[in-house]
Amino acid sequence: MSRVREQPGLELLKQLESLAEEMLRARTGGEASAFQVVSLGFLARSWRDLQGVLLLCREGLTEQGLVVARSIWEAAVTLEYIRRAPEERARLYIEYDPVLRWRMLQKAERNPELKASAALLEARESRKQEFEQLHQQFRAVRDKYPNTRYWSGKSLRALAQDLGVEGDYDFVYSWISEQAHVEVTAIGRQFKPKELNAVGIDFPDYLAPAVVIASWASVILEAYNEAFKLAFAPRIKSILTGLAEEASAG
């Protein structure tokens, strides 16, 4: 028997992952709005992230699963922010692509080693037309992005603050980021977790992280459900209710 079935939190998270796949298959064809395009991309990515979380947790790698789940939170915050002004912000998000690619190219050309590298020089020559086209695309939209570092002009924490979830950013997301960036609190846990006597988070089972991850993923499923005018809202709510009941019973 797989470990997923032994853990109620993961079993319900698996239901959410399966529902995400079903929702992706249920969308209708035809011309899509900017918000539909963005919500489709976010759900497809988060569906794969959920699969990754489940695979890691099957092997008992809960902390590693949470590192993957970090991107689900980022997606949930970003998509919910877009959802508040769907078409305007979705278009702004989509049109940011050449800004990102142009910034990356500029970074490469400012780097002394890369700037002088044969590979970049060759690419500059062989893909000259492509680079010029990218520059034109960048110039066409750059006035929409006074702060080219962020598509929205705001950091992820600022988006969370706008949505009233900065507490999630400051505590849960930041703690998971420590695991991703191998801070001393993350490394220390691998050796003497019982002797550290430090304030931290321990997950004796999968229920607590499953509830957290599911609440993040549900934001994405709900936005997608709204964008494509589907009828999955009761099923999303049912899975979340099941997780809440399992958490209360635990």
Residue burial 202-239, b: 16+ Cβ < 10 Å; e: rest: ebeebbbbbbbbbbbbbbbbbbbbebbeeebeebbeeb
Query: Phi, psi (5° rounding) for residue 176?
Result: -65, -35
Using CB atoms within 10 A of its CB, is residue 38 exposed (0-12), middle (13-18) or buried (19+)?
Answer: buried
Q: Which one, of 79, 57, 74, 68, lies nearest residue 7 by Cα?
A: 57
- Quick check: is 69 in a domain? yes
Same domain for 104 and 78: no
In a domain, 92, yes or no: no
Cα(32)–Cα(102) distance, rounded to whole angstroms? 27
**Which range, of 52-66, 114-128, 212-226, averages the lowest pLDDT?**
114-128
Rounded to an integer, the average pLDDT of 71-86 is: 96
* pLDDT one-digit tens code per residue, 134-171: 999 999 999 999 999 999 999 999 999 999 999 889 98
Number of domains in the chain: 2
Say which residue, 125 or 49, is predicted with more confidence: 49
Same domain, 79 and 158: yes
Is residue 1 one of the residues assigned to a domain? no
Read off the pLDDT band of 114 (50, 70, 90).
low
120 and 66 in a common domain: no
Q: Is there a single domain that holds both residue 135 and residue 173?
A: no
**Whether 80 and 110 share a structural domain:** no
Q: How confident is the model at residue 241 (pLDDT cuts 50, 70, 90)?
A: confident
The pLDDT mean for the chain works out to: 84
Residues 78, 114 within the same domain = no
Residues 104 and 197 in one domain: no
What is the domain extent for residue 179?
Answer: 6-86+154-249
- Block residue for tokens 């009941």: 245
Does any domain span residue 91? no
Q: Is residue 46 part of a domain?
A: yes
Query: 93-105 pLDDT, tens per residue?
Result: 999 999 999 998 8
pLDDT value at residue 106 = 84
Residue 149 falls within a domain, yes or no?
no
Judge residue 140's burial from the number of C-beta atoms within 10 Å of its C-beta, 0-12 exposed, 13-18 middle, 19 or more buried: exposed
Q: Within this chain, do residues 165 and 78 fall inside the same structural domain, yes or no?
A: yes
Residue predicted with more confidence, 130 or 203: 130
Q: Rounded to an integer, what distance in angstroms lies between the CA atom of residue 211 and that of residue 217?
A: 10
Sign of CA dihedral 171, 172, 177, 179: positive
56 and 11 inside one domain: yes
